[in-house]
Amino acid sequence: MTDPRRRHALVAAVVRGGARGGVAAMAMSGFRQVTTALELVQRTPPESMLLQTAPNLFRRVPVHRRPALVELVHWTYGAAGGVLFGLLPRRIRRRGWIGPVYGFVFWAVFEAGVSPVFGIDQRRHGTREQLALLADHLLYGTVVAAAPWPLAD
């Protein structure tokens, strides 16, 4: 990839993907406000990750500031996922179905890979919670892929 135009296009796709991922994570956060208020989700995955991987840090943060920490961590995950989306070949990013599929894959990787590695047993919360988490990841993927930029990448 020595062609400067191709390198610029890749960098632009990655930066745009990161921005889309951050915005998509924010959309997920709004959706999770509903699912937690309806008691479909007891503890969000970012909160579970913080409690499992950095419990001392989490507990040192004042209780009223913890939701902000959880959101910032979640938006960072989302931006990283958007960067990965930006690295997908352009012909794939342009497909109409890719967003929900990408969201599904993100959910499945967390459930089958990340969650067990960090000792987070999401299955204990039941089918309703799993469906709510799947739905917000489908939303994430849809938002990541639906921004007007994929065609410009």
Whole-number pLDDT of residue 147:
61
pLDDT, one tens digit per residue, over 88-102 is 998 998 888 999 999
Q: Say which residue, 85 or 9, is predicted with more confidence.
A: 85
pLDDT, one tens digit per residue, over 48-59 is 888 888 889 889
DSSP designation for 63: G
CA angle 129/122/41 to nearest 5° reads: 30
> Would residue 75 be called left, alpha or beta, if left means φ above 0 and alpha means ψ between -120 and 50 degrees?
alpha
Q: Which has the closest alpha carbon to 126: 51, 35, 52?
A: 35
Contacts of 35 (CB under 8 A, 6+ apart): 41, 132, 135, 136
Considering the entire predicted model, what is its pTM? 0.86
Q: Is the pLDDT of residue 32 over 70?
A: yes
Whole-number pLDDT of residue 149:
52
Alpha carbon distance 110, 116 (integer Å):
8
Coil vs helix vs strand at 88: coil
Coil vs helix vs strand at 42: coil
